[in-house]
A = this chain, B = another copy of it.
């Protein structure tokens, strides 16, 4: 478990690492000699704060503390994880590693964000070589789960364990190779794209469209091989390969060649890119990208697939415990309003209040034992009526808290009253936003008809009824 991380180099990548750590409750010591470092990191952090917490359906832990330090020694001395994200020049990296290893604990993990260097290259001349490994992230680091780990097997296993706990998807690259795995594909596509632009076949915008309206959508969930397996249809992978095998001999890419990297080519691409995206600032583009990614990731989470499965697993690891004190109103939900819950008015769509109350009701059901196992045993609760009263608007990024009082828990019936408030900084409830009077009925999933719950659940219902109906009615209900 990482408690303190040192970030050496706070650019786009280092800043992304810092945000990922901080928003998972880890303290960060940041070292970057750039006088603009503090401003830059705050902007990355601002982006991360408006997107990462919204990936989960409950509030993330308190943020870690960010400390700007002026030496590598201060950054590294007490760190469990030290992440190097300095420019892609081996002599600079060697110098930084030497200084880190002079001050770091022997059991600290020292990861490098390098896109291309192999661990054996990074480790050259190091006092403790196996401590240094590749931990290659993908921008934006606070949202994309993939991390390529390359290096000593024991070190990588420890790193994998630590990163899994902060919601990442570590991929151990078993054999070191230039540019690891993912960047080899990116480099191949980049080289091909440079040719197409240079030869005037396509503009940057046409190339982007050729990607994002087609195979990019496939690759956000299945990769290359699983997609092709499906494309092979019933005849399968071998059929697909037989069909496209001959193309390996055909000039379907410029693979054999590398375009010359001239100023002219750089200007051509920069000017096409300006034409394509220049109407938006980088910050605006970043926000659009992050909102899109949050939407895609949350969608995949509901499907429990790909990067969505990583989120499901992360929630299982970090989900807050159920309320245990039933003698007071139950604090059933603490969460941030995600971007995909808003509508054209710019505020949370009315239907999503229903989602909040559905989730709050699920917590009470879990308390009485109506969880996933219970449902797969063939019994569940269905909602039969919701009276929702909207009091105040809610906006994306806001923290909310829901208090639930059980009004009736007898026989087949479970009636709850939910108060949804804006959450103050200290977690106490602020403005009342919405209320819901919700009636659920216990059903058999086989007959799809109502029936009485039995055994342990009946006892828990009874205890809940007795404890909660004694309480005064919620203020908003009176």
Contact = CB atoms under 8 A, between A and B. Distances in A.
Interface of A: 11-12, 40, 87-88, 115-116, 138-139, 144-146, 148, 169, 171, 173-175, 177-179, 181-194, 196, 199-202, 204-227, 229-234, 236-238, 241-259, 261, 266, 269-270, 272-274, 276-277, 282, 285-286, 288-289, 291-293, 295-300, 302-303, 305-307, 310, 339-340, 343-345, 349-355, 357-358, 372, 375, 380, 382-390, 393, 445, 448
Given A144-B213, A296-B299, A353-B354, 18 more contacts: A88-B243, A139-B230, A145-B213, A169-B209, A175-B200, A178-B250, A185-B193, A188-B192, A209-B223, A213-B306, A218-B289, A230-B285, A255-B256, A295-B300, A295-B303, A351-B352, A351-B354, A383-B390
Contacts of A273: 225-226, 229, 237
6 contacts: A181-B207, A191-B253, A222-B289, A248-B259, A253-B255, A343-B358
A225 B207 contact: yes
A383 B349 CA distance: 10
| Most chain B beta-carbon neighbours within 10 Å: one of A226, A249, A256, A349 | A226
| Most chain B beta-carbon neighbours within 10 Å: one of A171, A218, A232 | A218
Nearest to A185: B189
A276 to B, nearest CB: 7
Copies in the assembly, this chain: 2
- A-B pairs with the 6 shortest C-beta distances? A208-B223, A216-B219, A351-B354, A220-B220, A146-B214, A146-B213
A291 B249 CA distance: 35
| Most chain B beta-carbon neighbours within 10 Å: one of A144, A178, A224 | A224
B296 A300 contact: yes
B210 A182 contact: yes
Nearest to A288: B305
Nearest to A235: B282
A359 to B, nearest CB: 9
A359 B385 CA distance: 19
A219 B224 contact: no
A299 B295 contact: yes
Given A384-B389, A385-B387, A181 B196 contact: yes
| Most chain B beta-carbon neighbours within 10 Å: one of A88, A192, A202, A299 | A299
A2 to B, nearest CB: 20
B248 A258 contact: yes
Contacts of A210: 146, 148, 171, 181-182, 185, 223
Contact of A255 (B191, B207, B246, B270): B191
Contacts of A296: 217, 220-221, 296, 299-300
| Most chain B beta-carbon neighbours within 10 Å: one of A175, A252, A256, A257 | A252
A349 B386 CA distance: 13
Nearest to A192: B188
B88 A217 contact: no
A252 B386 contact: no
A88 B245 CA distance: 11
Contacts of A261: 245-246, 248
